[in-house]
Copies of this chain bind each other. A is one copy, B any other.
Amino acid sequence: MTGSFDVTRYSRAAGEICRAGQFLYQRGWSPATSSNYSSRVSDRHVAITVSGRRKGQLTGADIMVVDLDGSPVQSDCRPSAETLLHTVIYRDRPDIGAVLHTHSVKATVLSRLVAEGEAVVLEDYELQKAFAGVDTHEGRVTVPVFANTQDMTSLAADTSRWLADNPGQPGYLIRGHGLYTWGRDMPECLRHVEAFEFLFECELETMRVRG
């Protein structure tokens, strides 16, 4: 039913995920066994991290395939608890090739400081140009903060609705939890993580001074 996929594309996707993990762990954005990462293998298959692995030391044995409903394909492993938050993005956005979920101190703290129902608004930063499709600092990046929950079906539906309404926005936060961002391919997605982390740190640094 979910058909078959090209194993070489899978291998390449798995390799990208492992290297992304080394980078993101070293930066302190995926501590302990937190975070999960994925990369598209076909229009119906996604390579994703197995649940509970240390992200700085990923190997092929820590990656598996799921279909767009989040069910394992050719694997006995258990995918990340948050697999559905990845697969709705691949399902709703055929242009997206990679999704990264990270757990930095800055994203965690900022997401808890924002009042309920409000978003993190980034404006007048030159670095906004690092987001795909942005070519000036004069726009505005609006990052919603979803309430944290262990009910992934409901959260996946909420994020799917938001994606449909905000096709141009590059990421969202979950309160006390972390960042989700995506890109056409893994390099673009990693650039988005770097840009978000930079901008979150700028926002927090400003709040520290302004009180």
Contact = CB atoms under 8 A, between A and B. Distances in A.
Contact of A211 (B32, B136, B177, B211): B211
A127 interface: yes
Contacts of A209: 109, 113, 204, 207-208, 211
A137 interface: yes
Contacts of A103: 126-127, 198
Contact of A32 (B136, B137, B198, B208): B198
Number of copies of this chain that the complex holds? 4
A105 interface: yes
A150 interface: yes
Interface string A94-137: 00000000010110110011000000000011110110000111
Main secondary structure of the interface of A (DSSP, over half): helix
Contacts of A197: 31
Contacts of A206: 109, 112-113
Contacts of A54: 191
Interface residues of A, number: 44
A112 B125 CA distance: 9
15 contacts: A31-B130, A31-B195, A32-B191, A33-B130, A33-B191, A34-B129, A103-B127, A105-B202, A108-B125, A109-B202, A113-B206, A124-B175, A125-B176, A126-B176, A137-B177
Top 8 nearest A-B pairs (CB, nearest first) are A126-B177, A32-B130, A32-B194, A109-B205, A207-B209, A124-B176, A32-B191, A31-B198
